[in-house]
Structure 1
């Protein structure tokens, strides 16, 4: 099939920042794109060929959107899988497949997949409703502390809470959920695995992630990870095992824990471009967004090596600020060598909302990390009016 400057149509469900960055690549290659999002102000709206407003979770909206595309992909997992399954049966190529999406979309199902396939992960208990957890604690079936996760619709730190005492359960939604045993870890790592429709598989370098202690969001992504070679090999092996059993097409980001005993445990996965791969836009020979397009179109995969050390800093809304966004001191970070900001196009900020990211590249990792710290301390995502 001819993809470039042709009648081929690529559909993308979700019009957020990941979709916007995918569209950088389709624009580069002149691939016709159709995007659906629930918001008229979606960041992807200005960059696609055709924009449709609609709910990704509505069967009719998702099905009607996909009927006239040749290949359909996602930038977020929260989509109506039944609609995508019908489209698959009617001949639309859907990547990742609905089988992969059904496994990953529900965190309880995802954890069971790991245990069924002997993939190392933290012990967990599944609950039909959050209200059942209190009885489990009272009867000795569950002990503090643990991590509560909503089975569905969690993202960017939402739907996740560390529970250290009974009072921490107050206010949590009464939904299907899991309670994970707390992992005593040294590092949080991630590996992006890419697989094309022909079965060609490659991995990106293992990255290290540093999280905000309160928001449960990534603050820094460091590539390459500052761990021993033996840990890098273990992390890649586990990520490849997950990929092999899922048999996904496209990108698969595998988030991992390195325990105090240097074991590698899978935390969770995302079947799409991911925050842990944003550094690749400036740092890699082939960035993750181009790679995802290559994979779902059955094109040869690009080189995944890094050209230079990279650190990504997330730009999130400052606490206490809600309203029209202002990027304070952005001119100051632009004076720093090797610094590239990416602004996602969201007009309104709120506390901890992802508004952009900054990549810092340098031949020296230590220096890149030092500059990243200066960037984090300098730029502030605030609102115009207080």
Structure 2
């Protein structure tokens, strides 16, 4: 029986385990939280840091394939594990590249991948030199996550909000739509892409909800898919890759960021597509045939976030109201405590058409709340 090791025991790992179990694949998980969402489901749960070198090296010794559910891991440990002959997917050098937005953006430029104009900065003191570059967005090179480490620079007055760390300053895009494509490649070189989804962001820069299909022309989606294929091939990538795109007002498609793992923008695939992103990741890293990514129907995903003003043991309002709506599926992450904007779960929705889908999204957002 195959054994997969997963660095990270959060909700993405939890859903990955559910897919692996269907194929009689054992999953061993490493996470510093003794109550991580994966703990109750993993065949073997190890409490420990995914950033501590020796902990990661020791963890990876007895697995067939080592993978991740978040990119904030000790990449050097993975590089050394791979040198010892243990299979690591995604490859450690890809994880290392994606961990640094500066290196990531430079890769796009060097390899002809469309992206927004940018400059690399070592600290916010250098912003004075680029007043003519505004409006722009400053992103810290390492450590930013879920909107953290991002600062909009509209005028010189915003410079004091910058980061005293190596960062990238990206020219602001006149955005029409934000879309995402989940792509996968196995070691044999087979590539698949899921249909594009349209992302609607919360005011705090977290995903609020997403819609599939995206409201974009077919030629825009085709260009995004071509870029996704090109990116995977130029990287020689193995595993699942989430690619976030901007579509500007002129219809140009450019890459914003990528994530080397299953992703929030792929959750609707669980009910909305023939193959889920979690099934596809397992297939890709084990070099199995990649699954059919086509849509079963129109679908959506609503993020379940902790309500503002509530911190403590989680309570869920509106469960019965939501379950009474046909085509609505609740996915909670077994997190005992809530706090404002903590990801507590997600709700997937299927419908016959876009109008019905949006009506259900509105009902879910109105009735379902996480309080304490």
Is the counterpart of residue 136 in structure 1 residue 132 in structure 2? no
Of residues 224, 240, 247, the one that matches 1:251 is 240
Give the aligned partner of residue 125 of structure 1.
119
1:51 aligned onto 2:45: yes
Give a deviation string over 1:186-229, Cα, whole Å, max 9, x none.
100111111111111111101111111x2101111111111111
Q: Which residue of 2 aligns with 1:241?
A: 230
Gap change, CA 1:131 and 1:330, over 3 Å in 2: farther
RMSD: 1.4
Deviations 1:46-94 (A, max 9, x none): 1101111111111111111111211000000111111001110101000
Which one of the candidate residues 60, 70, 74 is aligned to 1:80? Answer: 74
Matched, 1:316 2:305: yes
Output the CA distance in 2 between the equivalents of 1:352 and 1:161.
19
**Matched residues in 2 for 1:324 and 1:179: separation?**
39
Say if 2:51 and 2:73, in contact at 8 Å, map to a contact too. Answer: yes
Between the aligned partners of 2:358 and 2:56, the Cα distance in structure 1 is 42
Q: 2:189 aligns with which of 199, 206, 223?
A: 199
**CA separation of 1:323/1:170 partners in 2, compared to 1, >3 Å: closer, same or farther?**
farther
Which position in structure 1 is the counterpart of 2:101? 107
Structure 1 segments, 4+ long, off by >3 Å, are 165-173
Per-residue CA shift, 1:255-284, capped at 9, x if unaligned?
001111101010000111111110000011
Local SS of the residue matching 2:361: helix
2:361 is matched with which residue? 372
Shift in Å, 1:177: 1.2
Where in structure 1 are there 5+ consecutive unaligned residues? Answer: 1-5
State the distance in 2 between where 1:283 and 1:183 align.
30
Of residues 210, 219, 222, the one that matches 1:221 is 210
> Could you tell me how far 1:168 is from its partner in structure 2?
3.9
Structure 1 SS opposite 2:143 = coil
- TM-aligned CA deviation for residue 363 of structure 1: 1.6
Find the aligned partners of 1:281 and 1:124 in 2 and give their Cα distance.
Answer: 36
1:190 aligns with 2:185: no
Q: TM-score, normalised by structure 2?
A: 0.97
CA distance in 1, matches of 2:58, 2:36: 19
The two structures have a TM-score, normalised by structure 1, of: 0.93
Name the stretch that deviates more: 120-129 or 79-88: 120-129
Cα shift at 1:171: 5.7
- Unaligned residue ranges in structure 2 (runs of 5+): none
CA–CA separation in structure 2 for the residues paired with 1:68 and 1:159: 36
Task: Tell me the number of residue pairs that the alignment of Structure 1 and Structure 2 aligns.
Answer: 372
Partner of 1:45, secondary structure, is: coil
CA distance in 1, matches of 2:239, 2:320: 36
